[in-house]
Amino acid sequence: MMQFEQLVKEYLLELKLGNYSKKTMAVYEQHIDKFIDFYKKEICKEMDIYAINKMHYKLFISQLLDNSLRATYINAILKSNKAFYSYLIREQVLKTSPMDSIKLLKETKQALTTFNDDEVKAMLNVWNFNTYLNARNKCIIAVLADTGIRISELINIKDSDLTDQYIRVLGKGDKWRVVPISNELNYLLTKYKRLRDNHFNKIRNRNGKVRELDSELFLGNTGRSIKTITNIEVMITQTGLQANVRASVRCSPHQFRHYWTCKSLELGQDIFTISKLLGHTNLSTTQIYLQKLTNEQLISKAVKFSPLKHLK
């Protein structure tokens, strides 16, 4: 008998050696643990990898559906489990996967609702430059709205990654890319850095000793780097409430990524450039945003590139 859970530990170690992020590994582990919990409660407390079959996974899916989970979430769980079995086959632990004939659920396409321009303006206006944290929060929102980068990428930006025209960003898979910034954002960041440096200089002088600051662009109130995104998520949620953002729009850091993408498409940016700037490895990930364009927007964009209009 070969223990299922021991093989999961081996698989997670393989992911770690493959330089997967801690967040990605945690998601895989969480998804596989859901099947482990189900199996031990409903089938057998002992999990022999050779005893597991497709019927067990069908019953597992049925339970997930009974718990009213969304098809997209269930599919994510199934994909993680399928990836685990692919590893076992590569390692010749199994010849076939019990999930080979398990199909993903049909997903209902939901309309993408994101911030409008007035809401982004209102959120920016919630904060000012009266204090360091106010200025920092304003510039965090400005960077997210102007670049579409991930919040995990934003908190790791260092001063040395910033130029007048672009920001160097370390994305998923430890891949570097550059994202352009507008003159407006460059102005805000220049003003912010001046206020930030003055703020921490005063703290050092008042305490009578030198405080070593971290090198990140955005710092906590003590001069240390921001370790988790939780506080920023809370800040953006509260900002949305103060700015009267519609209740139908989830106010989160990632929502700015949706806003930036939809706005870029609306302004005429091509899908390939958008995908590159977002750090997507697969164009299909970016293409879902095309559904957001209305017929009027498509017509307006197409007219600009009419072949007859550009005949020489």
Count the alpha carbons within 13 Å of 122 in the hemisphere toward its beta carbon. Answer: 15
Q: 285: pLDDT confidence band, cut at 50, 70 and 90?
A: confident
- Please give the distance of CA 193 from its chain centroid, rounded to a whole number: 26
Average pLDDT over residues 25-51: 94
Set out the domains of the chain in order of their start, with CATH numbers: 4-90 (1.10.150), 117-303 (1.10.443.10)
pLDDT tens-digit readout, 193-229 = 999 999 988 776 556 676 778 999 999 988 899 988 8
Q: 28: pLDDT confidence band, cut at 50, 70 and 90?
A: very high
Q: Is the pTM of this model over 0.85?
A: no
Buried b (16+ CB within 10 A) or exposed e, 228-258: ebeebeebbeebbeebebeeebebbbebbbb
Tokens of 16: 């770690």
Q: What pLDDT score was predicted for residue 219? A: 95
Count CB-CB contacts under 10 A for residue 153. Answer: 19
Cα-Cα-Cα-Cα dihedral sign, residues 117, 123, 125, 131: negative
Buried b (16+ CB within 10 A) or exposed e, 67-79: eebeeeebbbbbe
pLDDT(302) > 70: no
Q: What pLDDT score was predicted for residue 79? A: 96
| Mean pLDDT, all residues of the chain | 89
pLDDT tens-digit readout, 239-271 = 999 999 999 999 999 999 999 998 998 888 888
Angle made by CA atoms 190, 115, 248, in degrees to the nearest 5: 145
CB 127 within 8 A of CB 205: no
Segment (H or E) for 178? strand 176-180
